[in-house]
Amino acid sequence: MKVSVIGTGYVGLSTATVFAELGNNVVAADIDKDKIDKLNSGIMPIFEPGLKELVERNIKEKRLSFTHDNEEAIVHGEVIFICVGTPPKVNGETDLKYVEAVAKEIAQTMSSYKVIVHKSTVPVETGEKVKEIVKENIKENVDFDVVSNPEFLREGTAIEDTMEPDRIVIGADNQRPAEMMKKLYSPIKAPLIITDIRSAELIKHASNSFLATKISFINAIAQICELSGADVEKVAEGMGYDKRIGKSFLNAGIGYGGFCFPKDVQAFIKIAEQYRYDFQMLKATHNINQEQKQNFVEKVKNTLKEVKDKKIGILGLSFKPNTDDMRFAPSTFIIPELQKQGAKIKAYDPEATEKAKSILNDVEFCNGPYEVCKDSDCLLVLTEWNEFKELDLKKIKSLLKSPIMIDGRNIYNPEDLKKEGFTYISVGREDVV
């Protein structure tokens, strides 16, 4: 099939690449000319495992091309995916201006039947809004349909999640676009859910908000564990064997980050308010997540006694491993808070350093984890990169001014740190002092 994707962020680029890999003729468009020029030269704008190789292969096989001309993509595609950004407004609502602009451009350009798919995470009733915009701006008497096809990919595993999803959700108002979407997805073996557009839109917000709630729940349990002397990892293990609960998203830490969970939780609270429902559970989810980051700052202050003029080493800046995404990363809150107390920061991340440089000020960015440790008064772990789990603890201890580690991701065994003579503070577990 001829497929077009408007927007080449995490979702758009992964979507375009996978559909090309499945044998479709795909044109991906973005108004950012510099980004498109880089993509056409084989330079990835994001770090995502496996993406670069797939892009290069499909460009070579002439199944995938990139353009900064949206009209070219609109003319090309039988199915057009809208994958532009849906940033939050100041009040937490979703800003749909980019979705609306693309919908208008599609209407003014198309001259044959199109299936217009909004894949970005959007509020319920966005499908109707897109349909109205197209009807109001269409130049010719051309038929079209609007479909909701929410994405469920995770940064760091985006290709795998797109090719081997847990489910495929298609929200359509009639059979014609539903059948076209089924044909497009036919090579992918996954449960296929055909529903109305509003239900499809709500599925995405409900899914992300539930997962965010699960993270905040275990972080609240971690606080109780610290107060009671229990071990949150043992509690989570005991919970996780219950099939009704499951083990995933039960890792206590410094809270969720990234673009999806913080944005989608706030957006869903606003959506509920529009329907006159006070979503108190989600408000608590958001508040606990914010508190968890502040709690970690307090751990650092309480451990060091005096933060002013202390040199603090940071391992990990991205919001999670296997991505360079710094959006809403806990590091972007924790580091400035420590700097307000007079701390001097050294930091290292395997992939996110360049993006971090444009966000974090007055940070000494290092070339490796051991460089971070050298002459630092303590070491903080903010992202659970596998690289950090394999570090030489003896070497770390020899480089630090004081053998103090405060682990926001619980990547180490407290007994191992105790044997090496560290003061080791983690989340929801007994301190090693």
Give the catalytic positions in this structure: 260
Are 65 and 24 a contacting pair, CB within 8 Å? no
CA dist., res. 269 & res. 233, Å (int): 30
- Closest among 57, 37, 48 to 13, alpha carbons compared: 48
The beta strand positions in 254-320, using DSSP E, are: 311-315
Q: How far is CA 393 from the centre of its chain?
A: 30
- Closest among 335, 343, 379 to 361, alpha carbons compared: 335
- DSSP letter string, 117-180: EE-S---TTHHHHHHHHHHHH-SS---EEEEE------TTSHHHHHHS-S-EEEE-SSHHHHHH
Cβ partners under 8 Å of residue 346, min gap 6: 311, 312, 313, 314, 363, 364, 365, 366, 371, 372, 376
Q: What does the block give as tokens for 211?
A: 């997962």
Q: Which helix (H) or strand (E) holds 80?
A: strand 79-82
What is the CB neighbour count within 10 angstroms for residue 249? 18
- DSSP letter string, 376-417: -SEEEE-S--HHHHT--HHHHHHHSSS-EEEESS--S-HHHH
What torsion do the CA atoms of 376, 354, 257, 322 make, to the nearest 10 degrees? -90
Q: Which helix (H) or strand (E) holds 226?
A: helix 197-228
For 265, how many CA atoms within 13 A lie in the half-sphere containing its CB? 26
CA dist., res. 178 & res. 319, Å (int): 36
- Give the chain's radius of gyration (CA, Å): 23
Cβ partners under 8 Å of residue 62, min gap 6: none
